[in-house]
């Protein structure tokens, strides 16, 4: 039997794919996101903001070695902002003296009522799930006081404790809140009786438990870095002091998503996508990532989206051309288990497969087009319908995008990806 040189080389390439990196197998990716190295080197993969304050870049090896996790969970001491305490008109409390340093604070007062740091700023850099330890020395109280940390710019208490007279007490607050926040302010209600009471905060220690992605770096070399500058909209990479299981978690936060500034991914005649994610299977639809938007029965949208339809438990590539209300879809069945999903296409032909299985094909896919610059950014965690929408609520490990048809490399790429994650 005659075997062509091209076929033999292609088979050998697939056999060797486990030892190669993704971008050695198929080097012309338009965008490539992962917490592992896709290049064969040790690229910068993520910029992480820790809940206790500060942010830093990390390479693939630093994520794998635990260096990034150690950074996030490192105990931080001192005030984020040096506080000024004030009494409030809900009683007879009156401050007689107050002073603060970068790490301590002392307040003496008479009467009974509420004393708090004003304005309601981020004097303590911490978020939901973090632990804050105030070492306090207290004297002169007529009865136990209630000490609180409140969410910045609000009256929401995120941690509280009862504190009595005594020296060098560790007052530990495990912070809870209904949504993300970037810090809080100390607040206490106390009674000095007929004398003067003094509350001294000897130290403030934040044991951070959460890390958030400010930038997911593009490893393709095309600088399509996915960024989220707004803290409340950043996805999570560390939760409860441990790496998120399944990659980067888009569940936490409000309008959680990452954006690029590049629009070249929307208008393509060929498109290939390889992604590892946890499928959304709830009773609605969510967009894992997109370039532009796909909205049927409207001529104002255009582009492509990777959609998870929980009504039917399917993952789909959906496309649309702006100016035409028609949309097209090619889909694969999914469950709630983490999956490797692959799409290869030269429009109008496209196929999608799950976990290296038999591909579902379509020969009637619309070539995506979105000429409006402000709308056609590539986004991870949502689609863009003149405003970010349809937010994803599951973790994503990896996204690799080609603006070429990678049919010939599909098996090799799937083999490489599966060898790292052991999905199937």
CATH number of the CATH domain containing 385: 2.60.120.200
Contact 120, 154 (CB under 8 A): yes
Q: Compute the distance between CA of residue 342 and CA of residue 288 in angstroms, rounded to an integer.
A: 14
pLDDT at 17: 52
Nearest to 211 by CA among 65, 64, 52: 52
- In-domain check, residue 222: yes
Mean pLDDT of 222-251: 94
| Domain termination site, one of 163, 182, 207 | 207
Residues 240 and 272 in one domain: yes
CB 186 within 8 A of CB 147: yes
Minimum mean pLDDT among 9-18, 149-158, 220-229, 237-246: which range? 9-18
pLDDT for residue 10 is more than 50: no
Backbone dihedral angles phi then psi of residue 178, each to the nearest 5 degrees: -80, -15
Domain shared by 65 and 107, yes or no: no
Same domain, 52 and 87: no
The answer to whether residues 401 and 274 belong to one domain is yes
Q: Which of 118, 179, 188, 177 has its CA nearest to residue 153?
A: 118
Is 408 part of a structural domain of the chain?
yes
Mean pLDDT to the nearest integer, 284-301: 93
Burial 209-231 (b: 16+ CB within 10 A, else e): bbbbbbbbbbbbebebbbebeeb
Look at the chain and report how many structural domains it folds into.
2
Tell whether the model's pLDDT for residue 174 goes beyond 80.
Answer: yes
* 349 falls within a domain: yes
Domain housing 356: 18-72+209-421
Is residue 232 included in any domain, yes or no? yes
Is residue 121 located within the same domain as residue 254?
no
Residues 197 and 160 in one domain: yes
Task: Provide mean pLDDT across the span 278-307.
Answer: 94
- 207, 227, 257 — which closes off a domain? 207
Token pair for 23: 């971008």
Asked if residue 319 is part of any domain, the answer here is yes
Q: Are residues 30 and 94 in the same domain?
A: no
Indicate whether 37 belongs to any domain.
Answer: yes
My answer on whether 253 and 377 are in the same domain is yes
Q: Could you give the angle at the alpha carbon of 171 between the alpha carbons of 170 and 172, nearest 5°?
A: 105
- Whether 290 shows a pLDDT value over 80: the answer reads yes
pLDDT at 12 over 80: no
The Cα–Cα gap between 246 and 276 comes to: 9
- The 3-state secondary structure of 172-184 reads EEECCCCCCCCCE
- On whether both 370 and 390 belong to a single domain, the answer is yes
Among residues 207, 231, 258, the one where a domain terminates is 207
Q: Kindly report the CATH number assigned to the domain that includes residue 93.
A: 2.60.120.260
User: Residue 4 falls within a domain, yes or no?
Assistant: no
Q: What angle do CA 157, 162, 165 make, to 5 degrees?
A: 135
Axis-axis angle for helices 410-421, 5-15 (nearest 10): 10
Q: Are residues 191 and 218 in the same domain?
A: no
**Do both 201 and 213 map to the same domain?**
no
- In this structure, is residue 2 part of a structural domain? no
pLDDT value of residue 13: 41
The model carries a pTM of 0.90
Each residue of 385-408: pLDDT tens digit? 888 899 999 999 999 999 999 999
Which among 285, 279, 393 has a CA at the least distance from the CA of 336?
279
What pLDDT, on the 0 to 100 scale, is given for residue 83? 95
State the pLDDT confidence band at 413, using cuts at 50, 70 and 90: very high
Same domain, 276 and 184: no
């Amino acid at each position: 039997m005659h075997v062509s040189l091209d076929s033999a080389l292609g088979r050998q390439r697939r056999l060797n794919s486990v030892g190669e990196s993704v971008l050695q197998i198929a080097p012309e990716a338009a965008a490539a996101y992962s917490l592992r190295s896709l290049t064969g080197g040790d690229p910068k993969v993520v910029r992480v903001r820790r809940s206790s304050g500060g942010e830093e870049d990390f390479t693939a090896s630093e994520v794998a070695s635990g260096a990034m996790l150690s950074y996030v969970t490192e105990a931080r001491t001192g005030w984020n902002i040096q506080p000024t305490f004030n009494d409030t008109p809900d009683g007879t409390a009156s401050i007689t003296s107050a002073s603060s340093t970068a790490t301590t604070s002392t307040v003496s007062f008479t009467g009974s009522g509420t004393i708090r740091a004003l304005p309601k700023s981020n004097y303590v850099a911490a978020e939901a799930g973090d632990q804050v330890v105030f070492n306090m020395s207290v004297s002169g109280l007529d009865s136990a006081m209630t000490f609180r940390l409140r969410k910045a710019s609000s009256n929401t208490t995120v941690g509280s404790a009862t504190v009595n007279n005594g020296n060098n007490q560790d007052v530990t607050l495990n912070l809870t809140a209904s949504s993300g926040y970037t810090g809080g302010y100390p607040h206490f209600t106390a009674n000095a009786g007929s004398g003067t009471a003094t509350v001294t905060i000897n130290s403030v220690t934040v044991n951070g438990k959460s890390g958030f992605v400010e930038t997911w770096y593009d490893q393709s070399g095309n600088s399509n870095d996915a960024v989220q500058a707004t803290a409340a909209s950043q996805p999570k990479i560390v939760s409860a002091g441990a790496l998120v299981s399944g990659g980067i978690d888009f569940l936490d936060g409000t309008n959680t998503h990452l954006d690029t500034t590049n629009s070249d991914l929307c208008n393509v005649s060929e498109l290939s996508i390889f992604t590892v994610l946890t499928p959304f299977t709830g009773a609605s639809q969510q967009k894992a990532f997109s370039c532009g938007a796909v909205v049927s029965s409207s001529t104002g949208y255009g582009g492509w989206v990777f959609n998870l339809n929980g009504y039917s438990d399917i993952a789909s590539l959906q496309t649309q051309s702006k100016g035409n209300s028609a949309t097209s879809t090619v889909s694969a069945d999914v469950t709630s288990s983490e999956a490797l999903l692959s799409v290869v296409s030269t429009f109008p032909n496209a196929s999608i497969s799950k976990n290296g299985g038999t591909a579902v094909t379509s020969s009637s896919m619309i070539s995506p087009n979105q000429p409006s610059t402000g709308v056609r950014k590539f986004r991870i965690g949502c689609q863009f319908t003149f405003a970010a929408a349809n937010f994803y609520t599951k973790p994503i490990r990896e996204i690799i995008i080609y603006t070429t048809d990678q049919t010939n490399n599909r098996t090799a790429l799937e083999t490489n990806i599966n060898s790292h994650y052991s999905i199937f």
